[in-house]
């Protein structure tokens, strides 16, 4: 009713064609402190519609058989709970301008501008954030943004895939923090990677099965459907990989290029790579390839400095034979290694 600030106000216009069928509609609505819990059971269920909260909004919408739904406006959502079988999210506040188009579950787009997000623990803003799906064009999901916390696109992609009944690939990290800029991510209709590009700062990646937990990493990412390239760097990168190294390692990585190929099996080529800390300094190249058992490793490394007695944590024990590990633990006691290559480091250290 008019004058009730807990209810929406506005108007609508319907268009009827010569065949007396509805040919279009347009509407406008304004809400002031609308209680979303009162809408439960009155509107169609939607995984993106909060179960509770208070909504202030100015919204314009239209519909036609050819163009589907088109809704745009500005919204301010407070104290909201978004809960489905896929997630349970509390929103302290969400303020944004937005535009939404939909022709159904297989063709829609959602664009945000000047987005403010606050969940009570973390607050961030994004100048732009866009999500789109068009399976007829081969796009299961496209996600692009100017600047975001790294965990946001990961959670969005994971949630949308779950809504469409697709589990998160175990080869990808389940959790991430940091910042990503100039992000462009495209998955095809089968949810396989088409493209991923962006700049990542102070990333922390975890919860991804057999791969290491990484922290303090900066990267330039350019990935395609079968291969890609990462340029890595970081002043204090922590590598926690229990299945490879017996304790976490902290390393400075001035520069490192990783070329990955997963078209047939997988392989990773590491080149132009320098790593250093108080215990060692090295540079060189490494190639890892998938194998029937343990991965094959081709190592070409020059160690320019190393404290032999403190190199124990750096041996990749999961790929070394037991005799080699025993020799390394017992045979290297306490000298200083200087300017040794991967092939003759052991002989100079004894």
Q: What is the pLDDT of residues 78-109, one digit of tens each?
A: 998 877 665 677 889 999 999 999 999 899 99
Which residues face 238 on adjacent strands?
A: 215, 250
Structure tokens at 343: 């092939």
Total number of residues shown for the chain: 350
Q: What is the DSSP letter of 152?
A: H
Alpha carbons 279 and 22: distance in angstroms, whole number: 75
Quick one: pLDDT at residue 299?
80
pLDDT, position 135: 95
Q: What confidence score (pLDDT) does residue 46 get? A: 67
Distance set, CA 12 to CA 29, 32, 59 (Å): 9, 18, 12
The model's pTM: 0.79
pLDDT tens digits, one per residue of 286-337: 888 877 766 778 888 888 888 877 777 877 777 777 887 777 666 555 555 5
339 or 30: which leads in pLDDT:
30
pLDDT band at residue 210 using 50, 70 and 90 as cut-offs = confident
Average pLDDT over every residue of 39-62? 81
């Amino acid at each position: 009713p008019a004058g009730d600030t807990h209810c929406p106000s506005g108007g609508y216009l319907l268009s009827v064609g010569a065949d007396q069928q509805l040919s279009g509609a347009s509407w406008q609505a304004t809400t002031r402190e609308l209680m979303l819990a009162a809408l439960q059971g009155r509107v169609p269920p939607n995984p993106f519609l909060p179960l509770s909260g208070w909504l202030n909004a100015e919204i314009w919408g239209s519909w036609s058989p050819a163009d589907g739904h088109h809704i745009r406006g500005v919204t301010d959502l407070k104290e909201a709970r978004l809960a489905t079988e896929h997630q349970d999210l509390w929103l302290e506040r969400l303020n944004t301008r937005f535009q939404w188009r939909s022709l159904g579950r297989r063709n829609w787009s959602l664009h945000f501008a000047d987005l403010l997000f606050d969940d009570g623990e973390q607050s961030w803003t994004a100048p732009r954030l866009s999500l789109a799906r068009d399976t007829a064009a081969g796009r299961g999901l496209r996600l692009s943004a100017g600047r975001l916390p790294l965990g946001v696109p990961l959670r969005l992609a994971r949630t949308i895939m779950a809504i469409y009944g697709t589990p998160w690939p175990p080869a990808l990290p389940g959790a991430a923090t940091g910042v990503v800029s100039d992000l462009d991510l495209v998955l095809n209709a089968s949810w396989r990677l088409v493209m991923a590009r962006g700049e990542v700062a102070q990333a922390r990646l975890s919860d991804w099965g057999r791969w290491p937990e990484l922290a303090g990493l900066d990267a330039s990412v350019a990935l395609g459907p079968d291969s890609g390239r990462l340029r890595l760097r970081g002043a204090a990168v922590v590598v926690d990989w229990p299945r490879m190294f017996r304790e976490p390692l902290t390393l400075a990585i001035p520069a490192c290029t990783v070329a990955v190929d997963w078209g047939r099996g997988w392989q990773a080529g590491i080149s132009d790579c320098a790593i250093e800390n108080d215990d060692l300094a090295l540079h060189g190249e490494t190639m890892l390839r998938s194998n029937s058992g343990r991965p094959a490793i081709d190592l070409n490394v020059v160690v320019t400095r190393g404290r032999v007695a403190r190199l124990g944590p750096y041996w990749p024990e999961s790929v070394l034979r037991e005799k080699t590990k025993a020799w390394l633990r017992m045979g290297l006691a306490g000298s200083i290694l200087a300017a040794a290559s991967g092939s003759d480091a052991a002989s100079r250290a004894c």
